[in-house]
Amino acid sequence: MTFKFPSAYTILFGLIVAVAIATWFVPAGEYDRVLNETLGRDVPVPGTYKEVEPNPQGFEDIVLAPIAGFFDPDSYEARAIDVALFVLIIGGFLGIVTKTGAIDAGIAGAMSRLRGREKWMIPILMALFAAGGTIYGMAEESLAFYTLIIPVMIAARYDAVTGVAIIMLGAGVGTLGSTINPFATVIAANAASVPFTDGIVLRFVILILCWLACVVYVMRYAEKVRENPDYSIVADRRVSNEEHFLKGRDQSEVVEFTATRKIVLLIFALSFAVMIWGVSAGGWWMARMSALFIVAAILVGVIARMSEEEFTDTFVDGARDLLGVALVIGIARGIVVVMDAGKMTDTILFWAEGAVSGLPAIAFINTMFGLEVALSFFVPSSSGLAVLTMPIMAPLADFAGVQRDLVVTAYQSASGLVNLINPTFAVVMGGLALGRVPYERWLRFMWPLLVILTIIIMGSISAGTLLN
């Protein structure tokens, strides 16, 4: 009997069990917290850590964790139920648009115009997603683009991994190299008591170098897949992926690009443009984004002259296609719920504080980066990690002779790097579920790139330490 790597659901539930077991052995502890009026959140006070009454997590806590993960009221980010509902509505919207044939016609037209130049879609799209990452920390909202980008990549004779990489690495490397991202750089800088513009040049350097590394890596992989489909790390799943994303369409059939389909495709594109504007400039989050796509779906249904029954059945079928993704998002958040309930988070932070105390500058900043990498697995939220670690770690930089802005850069680079593969990060597991890419295949694809990015980051922060 050959070993088969478990599904995302099993991996995540196994992590919940592992963290629950750890709460029986890791001492429970807490820092005192005070309200930071600038951040509007309670932040830990350095030097106040103390052990508290343990709260080991048992069987009931384990089975309730995925449920609590959906509606945890203390989450720094959108609750998982908000994100899951958004994903289901996106599924319904895409089902309606797909039913009209507009996406088929649009893809066929794009492939016709780009014949021979399809590979240049990769750097262009990755640059756009990276811009979203560095400007406003594009994360959950990127889930809306998977079922749009992946069919285009498959039609261009690449694979689903290429589509996933364009979005996840594009937005992820933008967040890794955040420049003005309010959910990472600005919050971390405020918590570290430095202007967020301090260190922005180094962050631009990291952003550009890491983006170039990701683009070259993805383009090389994509071209190898195009030349030999068996090179794909999901070659054994290629047919099922094509059937899923291309909905079994007959590739020999030319889909007419009618006026109605052009209008539908325009509404489709405008919906995403409005979403991006709403998040970056209008302060929108999941509720308004979900409402936007409900309105857009109804508008498309009216323009395509769908009957009420056809519209509702198609919308529900589209949402059903993404139900598994919605479940993954809630289970992933359940890991953090168990860890926080077991009062492990502050203890791990206290250990990290002790690990960097007294180190020389270069050793300090690189150890800081390594510790933030480890902490990122337990706290996948970039803003949550900033609020948790910066009030403790930033003052330690003063004793090591390191500028505090370098600590901010080390934190955001570590968080962004880990969140390219982090199984506790709903965006990673949700994106892979959307692309039907098994988690272990993604790790196989990513590990050489992770080594390259780590070298770039550590080299950059080391150089920054020497120059300051």
Lowest mean pLDDT segment, chosen from 271-285, 355-369, 405-419, 449-463: 271-285
**Section 344-370 average pLDDT:** 85
pLDDT-derived band at 76, boundaries 50, 70, 90: very low
The band of 147, judged by pLDDT with boundaries at 50, 70 and 90, is confident
Residue 248 has pLDDT above 50, yes or no: no
Asked whether the predicted pLDDT for residue 89 surpasses 70, the reply is: yes
Which residue from 183, 413, 172 is spatially nearest to 280, judged by alpha carbons?
183
Please, what is the average pLDDT of the chain? 83
**Dist CA 427 CA 168 (whole Å):** 8
Regarding predicted confidence, which is higher, 331 or 231?
A: 231
DSSP-assigned letter for residue 257: -
What secondary structure letter does DSSP report for 142? Answer: G
- Read off the pLDDT of each residue in 367-393 and give the average, rounded to a whole number: 83
Q: How far apart are the first and last CA of the chain?
A: 58
Question: CA-CA distance, 125 to 116, in Å (whole number)?
Answer: 17
Average pLDDT, integer, range 182-203: 83
Mean pLDDT, rounded, for 124-137: 84
Q: Write down the pLDDT at residue 180.
A: 78
* Residues facing 51 on adjacent strands: 29
Nearest-angstrom CA–CA distance, 359 and 362:
8
Contact (CB, 8 A) for 126 and 211: yes
Q: What's the confidence (pLDDT) of residue 429?
A: 85
Lowest-confidence region among 221-225, 289-293, 334-338: 334-338
pLDDT of res. 169: 95
**Averaged pLDDT for residues 416-420:** 93
Note the helical H segments in 137-258: 146-155, 160-176, 187-191, 200-227, 238-246
The pLDDT > 70 percentage for the chain reads: 88
Distance (Å, whole) CA 188 – CA 391:
9
